[in-house]
Amino acid sequence: MENYILLDNTFSSEANHASSINTKAIAKSENGNLGKQFSLIFSDRLKKGLLVETEIEDGYYLVLNKELDITEQGITYQEAVENFLAFLYEDFDNINKLESSKLDAKLKTILQKYKELLI
């Protein structure tokens, strides 16, 4: 039988946009390896919580969402989340400014996903 631990972490940030990050993560405790953690991120521009995966690699926190194909890193967990949100907002704003006739199928799909998530 595998052993798991439940981690709980909450903090707020006043960086570019007010955001709060609530972490309810299940991590494998086998061999002292925390494995993958999952966080639910809330911010003033998100319509609902966004589930992201968190990993630690080479001393950096990685925050990623495979569906959106976004991965950002930081020295701290908070910095990685802030970088993730900053990229998400900037990418959405840049794509949303383009004329729809200039969007290829991939960008249209990404824009649709962003519109479902962002205000």
**CA atoms of 20 and 41, how far apart (whole Å):** 6
pLDDT (average), residues 86-108: 95
Residue-wise pLDDT for 61-79, tens only, equals 999 999 999 999 999 999 9
- HSE-up of residue 106 (Cα within 13 Å, Cβ side): 3
pLDDT (average), residues 42-65: 91
Q: Is 72 helix (H, G, I), strand (E, B) or coil?
A: strand
Query: Where along the chain do its domains lie?
Result: 4-117
Q: Does the structure show a pLDDT above 70 at 45?
A: yes
Out of 15-24, 38-47, 73-82, 83-92, least confident range = 15-24
